[in-house]
Amino acid sequence: MDPGLGRVRVFLMHDDNKPRKLKYNLGPELGERRLLTFGGAYSNHIRAVAEAGRRHGIGTIGVIRGEEHLPLNPVLAHAAACGMTLTYLDRGSYRLKHTPEVQARLRERWGADVVILPEGGSNAAALRGCAELPGEISGAYDVICCPVGTGGTLAGISAGLPEGRRALGFAVLKGAGFLAGEVERLQREAYGRTWSNWAINLDYHFGGYARSTPDLDRFIAKFRVEGVYVAKMLYGILDLARHGAFTPGTRIVAVITGQPLGGPVIAGWPVSGPVIASP
């Protein structure tokens, strides 16, 4: 099969960024306080926080977008089984979840000392975990690519890059121009500075958050890609390579977030080299 990559080489690296984002959010300073966070009904972040809470003996509260639907879907049922307390926020209030007014109401209900973790887990502590990713790559590379939802993974990878490397994120949202500001804000919050070694491509959202198109569906079916956000990134890398966007000889590490690489994650994906690292 002709991968259409020309002289560009792509390496796949599996990295479950949810535990990485939580690593420094679950430190000793949390103490006996409970962790409250946000997500949709099928949120991998909600699942990851619930699992981390069970593993570390931390009380967790999941604020779910929309109304309660019973029976619970598999994601929320698993979160509840891990001990997470589930509560719901109407969509109008959910859009304002970051505001002092909504957070004050949540603290009034759940306790003034509850620790509020943003949706997706992207905060200064999360960046510290994500910044460790480049240092775990053992081979030579030029560019690290990742899907971008909230900007935290990209912001952390950028902060941890060695000199001369760069990071390219693929926005999974439509109208995601604001994410550039979010990456800079997160870097300033975590490190007091920003980096210029990254960029976000906005052209492969395929209709928006959690959305797809027949073209992307065919791509997912052909290569048996698990995860629509990963598929958007991989489609983007291949399309850009075909159109000469990368200098010949460029070595790209594509970070496969949230899914294991054993089995049909990228079956038949035209990778012109081995996996560099699979922690």
| pLDDT tens string 210-249 | 899 999 999 999 888 878 999 999 999 999 999 999 999 9
Cβ–Cβ < 8 Å for 170, 139: no
pLDDT at 29 over 80: no
What is the spatial distance between Cα 44 and Cα 205, in angstroms, rounded to a whole number? 19
Write down the pLDDT at residue 184.
98
Question: What average pLDDT does this structure show over 41-49?
Answer: 91
Helices then strands, counting H and E runs in the chain, come out as 10, 9
pLDDT at 267 over 50: no
Q: How confident is the model at residue 5 (pLDDT cuts 50, 70, 90)?
A: low
What is the spatial distance between Cα 10 and Cα 269, in angstroms, rounded to a whole number? 10
Domains assigned to the chain:
9-16+124-257 (3.40.50.1100), 26-121 (3.40.50.1100)
pLDDT at 143 over 60: yes
Write down the pLDDT at residue 4.
56
Residue 169 structure tokens: 């994120």
Residue 204 structure tokens: 């492969």
pLDDT at 268 over 60: no
177-196: buried (b, 16+ CB within 10 Å) or exposed (e) per residue? eebbebbbebbeebbeebbe
pLDDT above 70 coverage of the chain, percent: 90
What is the spatial distance between Cα 234 and Cα 223, in angstroms, rounded to a whole number? 10
Question: What average pLDDT does this structure show over 64-75?
Answer: 95
Residue 30 structure tokens: 């949390």
Report pTM: 0.85
Q: Other C-beta atoms within 10 Å of 273: how many? A: 13
